[in-house]
Amino acid sequence: DVKVTQSSRYLVKRTGEKVFLECVQDMDHENMFWYRQDPGLGLRLIYFSYDVKMKEKGDIPEGYSVSREKKERFSLILESASTNQTSMYLCASRDKFYEQYFGPGTRLTVT
């Protein structure tokens, strides 16, 4: 079974803190993605990566950066967390046969 894990299910941070969200997949997938989910807006793509050290901006990259130093790990970084980044964050990886597998999500609250 494909497994995508995220470092935390729930996280509470203060405004201005640097936040790291980690995602690990165990199926040697090349493509990995970070989304955020907000009520009424569905899943919005923040960043994605199609190889180690490669990254592409999604629809809403502002306020975020990413790191892909190893194939299995894709990190989302909030350089200076703000209250409007309170959201559910979902990581996903994708196999070459189209299918995308999601992690369990991290619910981040910024106070």
Partner 1 sequence: ILNVEQSPQSLHVQEGDSTNFTCSFPSSNFYALHWYRWETAKSPEALFVMTLNGDEKKKGRISATLNTKEGYSYLYIKGSQPEDSATYLCAFDNNNDMRFGAGTRLTVKP
Enumerate binding residues for partner 1 (CB under 8 A): 4, 33, 35, 40-45, 48, 50, 56, 58-59, 90, 94, 98-105
Smaller CB distance to partner 1: residue 23 or 81?
23
Question: Do β-strands 19-25 and 4-6 pair in parallel, antiparallel, or remain unpaired?
Answer: antiparallel
Q: How far is the CB of 59 from partner 1 (least distance, A)?
A: 5
Q: How far is the CB of 37 from partner 1 (least distance, A)?
A: 9
**CA distances, 4 to each of 8, 18, 36, 38 (Å):** 12, 23, 16, 21
First to last CA, the chain: 37
Smaller CB distance to partner 1: residue 45 or 77?
45
Q: How far is the CB of 43 from partner 1 (least distance, A)?
A: 4
Smaller CB distance to partner 1: residue 56 or 79?
56
> How many contiguous H segments (helices) and E segments (strands) does the chain have?
0, 11
Q: What single-letter DSSP state applies at residue 39?
A: T
Sign of the alpha-carbon dihedral angle for 80, 70, 36, 31 = positive
Q: How far is the CB of 15 from partner 1 (least distance, A)?
A: 27
Smaller CB distance to partner 1: residue 41 or 52?
41
